Amino acid sequence: MENQGERSIRWIATAFGVSIVASLGLAVVYLLGGQPQAEGALLGAALGGISVGLVLWAKHLMPGGPEVQEREIRPEVAEAQAEVEETLQAGAEPIERRTFLAKMLGAAFAAFGIALLFPIRSLGGAPGRALFRTAWRPGSRVVRADGSPVRPEELAVDGILTVFPETHTEAADSQTLLIHLPEDVQPPGPPGWVPEGFVAFSKICTHAGCPVGLYEAESKKLFCPCHQSVFDVVDGAKPTEGPATRPLPQLPLSIDDSGFLVAQGDFEEPVGPGFWNRGRDD
């Protein structure tokens, strides 16, 4: 028995000793400029030493139990409850007698509650038509993220480019994929929208709004990496797989007199994920 106790003491002291050494080491590492792995390991040893020491101490050198404690079964419950009820009712009586005042107070609270809602309005502008429009306008030049305009000859066949309307490269809702389809492919959309095989679709997934970032030139399909929706470019970017329900809206393109790609106007329907009144652009 004596032996057992002494052995425990030795182990516990060792654990605390490890902790002390690790803490000192941690201070040294920190003073020398810090090193994440060493910091983590030493901090772990410092904390772990204390933990192990405490566990052994509690297990071997402290009263273990089992202790038994009565759980109070409260016999006075019913009586006490009745008293509370009575007190509540007695206090409520003078309030209930003034029904008119009580109603007015209720109305005042309700009115105040409604008034309190208005500051919430300051948190954001009204949605208005924001979700129905993007920054594309008739004649907007098609530019890259760095603002440089795009000439048809700059994008190879089967090439893809993320583009924005000129001067609006920060407009997240206007991000558009420009794709150069080969000649032997019948391009989607009205013939006047796809000069020289250049098609453009909104880059925002119609499912949950992620950028539809992957294009497979061989199958002419766009993939959304978020939830694996697949859009068939040749078929007007209609979804063929995954949770998306609507095609990516198509941007009408043309080429201006200086030979740059331009938009003929905005997308004809809202881009991006669905919302309650998406179908009511009025």
Partner 1 sequence: MIKRLTQWIDDRLGASSFAKQALNKVFPDHWSFLLGELALYCFLILVLTGVFLSFFFDPSVSESVYRGEYEPLNGVHVSNAYKSVLDLSFEVRAGLVMRQMHHWAALIFIAAMFVHMLRIFFTGAFRRPREINWLIGLTLLILGLLNGFSGYSLPDDLLSGTGLRIAYSVVLSIPVIGTWMAFLVFGGEFPAEQIIERLFVVHIFIVPVAIAGLMTAHLAIVWRQKHTQFPGPGRTEGNVVGEKLWPTYMTKSMALFFGVSAVVAILGGLVQINPVWLYGPFRAEQIPSPAQPDWYLGWLEGALRLFPPWEIRAFGFELPNPFYPAILLPGITFNLLYLWPFLEAKLTGDREPHHLLERARDHPVRTALGIAGLAFYLVLFAAASNDLLSKWLKIPVESITNAYRVLLLVFPPVAGLITYRLMDALRRTGAEGLMHLPLSALTRRTQE
Q: Which residues in the 66-85 window bind partner 1 by CB under 8 A?
A: 66-71, 73
Of the pair 64, 191, the CB lying nearest partner 1 is at 64
Q: Is the dihedral of CA 105, 111, 112, 113 positive or negative?
A: positive
Among 55-63, 92-100, 108-116, 259-267, which window interacts with partner 1 (CB under 8 A)?
55-63
Of the pair 137, 278, the CB lying nearest partner 1 is at 278
Of the pair 230, 233, the CB lying nearest partner 1 is at 230
9 sits near partner 1 (criterion: CB under 8 A): no
Q: Which of 24, 58, 80, 104 binds partner 1 (CB under 8 A)?
A: 58
Following DSSP, what letter does each residue of 252-274 receive, concatenated?
PEEE-TTS-EEESSS-SS--SS-
Cα 161 → chain centroid: 26
Among 83-91, 102-110, 207-215, 251-259, which window interacts with partner 1 (CB under 8 A)?
207-215
219 sits near partner 1 (criterion: CB under 8 A): no
Taking residues 123 to 142 in sequence order and writing x for each that binds partner 1 by CB under 8 A, - otherwise, the string is: xxxxx--xx-----------
CB 159 to partner 1: min, Å: 17
119 sits near partner 1 (criterion: CB under 8 A): no
| C-beta of residue 201 within 8 angstroms of C-beta of residue 250 | yes
Nearest to 9 by CA among 62, 66, 45, 64: 62
| C-beta of residue 208 within 8 angstroms of C-beta of residue 227 | yes
117 sits near partner 1 (criterion: CB under 8 A): no
Of the pair 208, 234, the CB lying nearest partner 1 is at 208
Of the pair 44, 139, the CB lying nearest partner 1 is at 44
* Residue whose tokens read 């990516």: 248
Nearest to 195 by CA among 249, 262, 140: 262
Taking residues 27 to 46 in sequence order and writing x for each that binds partner 1 by CB under 8 A, - otherwise, the string is: ---x--xx-xxxxxx-xxxx
If phi > 0 it is left, if psi is from -120 to 50 it is alpha, else beta; for residue 38 that is alpha
CB 228 to partner 1: min, Å: 5
| C-beta of residue 17 within 8 angstroms of C-beta of residue 46 | no
Residue 178 exposed, middle or buried by CB count within 10 Å (0-12, 13-18, 19+): buried
Taking residues 224 to 243 in sequence order and writing x for each that binds partner 1 by CB under 8 A, - otherwise, the string is: -xxxxxx--------x-xxx
118 sits near partner 1 (criterion: CB under 8 A): no
CA–CA dist 276, 244 (Å, integer): 16
CA–CA dist 171, 130 (Å, integer): 12
25 sits near partner 1 (criterion: CB under 8 A): no
263 sits near partner 1 (criterion: CB under 8 A): no
